[in-house]
Amino acid sequence: MSHNEIHLDGRRVLVTGAARGLGASFAQALVQAGARVVISDVLHDAGQQLAQDLGPHAHYVPLDLLDAASVQGGVQAAVQWLGGLDGLINNAAITNSGGKGMNELSADTWDLVMDVNVRGTWLVTAAARAHLAASGSGRVVNLASDTALWGAPRLLAYAASKGAVIAMTRSMAREMGADGITVNAIAPGLTLVEATAYVPQ
């Protein structure tokens, strides 16, 4: 199905980590389908440029998943610009944790990957929850990864974080279903973006 066949006219969507990579593609596809989209990230120049390129239905908001106050402020700013919230794509993540084996992986890297990919996904979703409930048909899509399913050597922290995303997706779906919010995860396979350019093809 091409983008043009999906109609999301007027839907209000926040995409995290959308300044580049898959998130930027999601933002572009959403705008093409008629949605209004907030692009959020810690890459401010790239995020602002993308919003400008996508036109009046896109807007950039800084949102750092490592900072609870930034998450609260970013979600508020997104909801304010959008006038509500119908969809959240939890796309932001640390995707390259250095390619080290489990005995070389540092505890700091482990913590960073978990803090962004797991804690960050929880914080954004919790901050967005009341707004998604007010929409009456809130939708959350979490980015997992096939590395959580097949076992990925030298990607221990990343794969573990994405396994946690799958587990959180189920818990969130059960907890928020009563508010009409659906929560799903997608688990892409390796997709070539700047962040995966280091992977041998």
Name residues contacting ligand NAD, limited to 14-33 (CB under 6 A): 16-17, 19-23
By CB under 6 A, name the one of 66, 133, 166, 167 that touches ligand NAD.
Answer: 66
Distance of CA 117 to the CA centre of its chain: 9
Burial class (CB in 10 A: 0-12, 13-18, 19+), 14: buried
Name residues contacting ligand NAD, limited to 107-126 (CB under 6 A): 116
Is the Cβ of residue 19 or residue 31 nearer to ligand NAD in the bound state? 19
Tokens linked to 10: 């007027």
Is the Cβ of residue 46 or residue 133 nearer to ligand NAD in the bound state? 46
**Catalytic annotation, pick one of 158, 164, 169, 183:** 158
Q: Does 45 bind ligand NAD (CB under 6 A)?
A: no
Active site residue 60: no
By CB under 6 A, name the one of 43, 126, 133, 134 that touches ligand NAD.
Answer: 43
By CB under 6 A, name the one of 14, 31, 64, 172 that touches ligand NAD.
Answer: 64
Q: Does 106 bind ligand NAD (CB under 6 A)?
A: no
CB of 83 to ligand NAD, least distance (A): 23
Q: Does 138 bind ligand NAD (CB under 6 A)?
A: no
Is the Cβ of residue 68 or residue 133 nearer to ligand NAD in the bound state? 68
C-alpha to C-alpha distance for 61 and 84, rounded to whole angstroms: 15
By CB under 6 A, name the one of 101, 153, 177, 188 that touches ligand NAD.
Answer: 188
Q: Which residues are catalytic?
A: 158
Q: Which residues bind ligand NAD (CB under 6 A)?
A: 16-17, 19-23, 41-43, 63-66, 91-95, 116, 143, 145, 188, 190-191, 193-196
